[in-house]
Structure 1
Amino acid sequence: MAYETIELTINDRQGVLTFKRPESLNAMNEVMLRELADCFEQLQEEKNVQVLVIKGDGRAFSSGGDIKMMLQKDKIEDFHEIMDIISRMATAYYQLPMITIAQVHGAAAGLGFSLAIASDFIIAEENSKLAMNFIGIGLIPDGGGHFFMKERVGIPKAKQIIWEGKIMNGEEAQKLGLIDVVVKDGKADQYVQEFVKKLLSSPILAMLETKKIYHSERIEELKNILNQELVAQTKMRQTKDHLEGIKAFVEKRAPQFVGQ
């Protein structure tokens, strides 16, 4: 299938999915979200792919949800439609019957970071900018961000990272347990290629059975959290703090939050 905002290539037992909106640092607009959800759902039936690498074209992995889209989807029904697509994307990615690898360079922020940490392995360049930074515009993580953060670092640390919204480099994120491997800038592609070769020369069918056992146990929890994120995000979008956060972002100034 031909896509507008992503590219999927399959060679032997490996798939590579590339985000293709480099002009916007691969920000996820409605078209990209739909294409990602469709692609991941179709890959559920792909029996010959055992490893999938996701990465970004240009200067970044993904800067997150497209702010322009967020401003345009101000009606509740339109916002709920977007959140439903995001839930489809996260659920399908989590259930992929293959080893998933996020190859990160540049920014991996917000929704882009939620998708990255949903992967089985995360390889990031040392000067990547990694952030669960929804808090900066008065929102909560979505795309299963709460679930995947908890899976990676546990609930107490997940709360602290979400609340701080700090931009981390590769080394800082690795120390927290958010990513698995840090490589020098410009070396992620080479490292991932070698890593994929290692995986494909391993008893990967046994590895995939282990993934299936763990993920089948947790899929209902992920779906529940996605539903809770929809309800909570709908509430947050109507707050004064969110409106101030968006306005401050557009005006490139520090926000003045009032707790309302």
Structure 2
Amino acid sequence: MADFIHVELKDGIFIITVDRPKANALSLEMVKCLQGAFKDASRQAQARVVLLRGAGDTFSGGQDIYEILKAEGASYRKHMLETYNPLVVQIRQLSLPVLAELRGTAAGAALGLALACDLRIAAEEARFVVGFLGIGLALDSAVSLFLPALIGLGRATQAAFTNEPITAQQALSWGLVNRVVPSKDLQTGAYEMARALASGPTHAMGLAKRDFNKAIYPHLEQVLDYEAHIQEIARAGAEHLEGVRAFVEKRMPNWV
């Protein structure tokens, strides 16, 4: 599974790349590998900034839905407490600045990981999809906290309830991303942005990040735990069963 997560340290930039066929869909083991990668970044004396990106033409479509199917009967809350929840906390508590390089789609739990990062640069064609309600689930990976904090509750609610993608230009105007560039310039632009951060006062950035966490996200861990509790309720419901069936059968769900 570690083959799907690649790390590289260059010019003070600790690059973490998610690389898996079929939209870089995340498995629970991959998330644990990401935990290990961020832990490695925190231990590297030469690392001054982390750059998180997806290989190919997309960031990540989120949690692998077929793995969800295999896990029927298992505790979803337990999965969250062991995987996405600690990873989100890890990203927020990392003393280094974390930049997300976003192309294609960032959906579901992958959207939560992107929002946990300090800064985001996106390609012009990038889109951001809450996704959970499309398969009859609620929210997790701190999307319920990060998304309204960045774009406001009204816009976050609309994105969640309708499952409509947020375009890169909307994301820029709403404050969801910090910069949008042509797709061909994304990798270079992200690297330049990361180098600029790496050449700055990264210790002070880490301290400022602690300030932001205290001011804006003081209850992050409680929110994550509550999301996991609510998600387990949603996962046991008929809507989730219909949503997953519709996804597998490649049809629109029938919620009524």
1:242 aligns with 2:226: no
Contact kept in structure 2, 1:87 and 1:143, CA below 8 Å = yes
Gaps of 5+ in 2: none
Correspondence for 1:139:
137
Report the residue type matching 2:174 in the other structure: L
* Aligned partner (choices 73, 79, 82) of residue 82 of structure 1: 79
Report the residue type matching 1:130 in the other structure: F
Structure 1 runs of 4+ with >6 Å offset = none
Distance 1:47 1:151, change over 3 A: farther
Per chain length, whose mean CA-contact separation is higher, i.e. which structure has more relative contact order (CA < 8 Å, sep 6+)?
A: 2
Correspondence for 1:4:
3
1:178 aligns with 2:176: yes
How far 1:81 sits from its partner (Å)? 3.1
- Aligned to 2:165, the other structure's residue is in SS state coil
TM-score, reference length from structure 2: 0.93
TM-score, reference length from structure 1: 0.91
For residues 187-226 of structure 1, what are the structure 2 equivalents within 5 Å?
187-216=185-214, 220-226=218-224
- Aligned to 1:136, the other structure's residue is in SS state helix
* Aligned partner (choices 89, 103, 106) of residue 105 of structure 1: 103
Report the residue type matching 2:80 in the other structure: M
Correspondence for 1:32:
30
- Aligned to 2:137, the other structure's residue is in SS state coil
What fraction of aligned residue pairs are identical, expressed as a percent?
A: 28
Distance 2:124 2:244 in 1: 29
Cα-to-partner distance string for 1:236-256 (whole Å, 9 max, x where unaligned): 011111111111111111111
Distance 2:22 2:193 in 1: 29
- Aligned to 1:187, the other structure's residue is in SS state helix
Contact kept in structure 2, 1:44 and 1:92, CA below 8 Å = no
How far 1:17 sits from its partner (Å)? 0.2
Distance 2:167 2:184 in 1: 14
Cα-to-partner distance string for 1:146-186 (whole Å, 9 max, x where unaligned): 12113212333322322222113211222222111111112
Gaps of 5+ in 1: none
* Aligned partner (choices 162, 166, 175) of residue 164 of structure 2: 166
Distance 1:76 1:223 in 2: 22
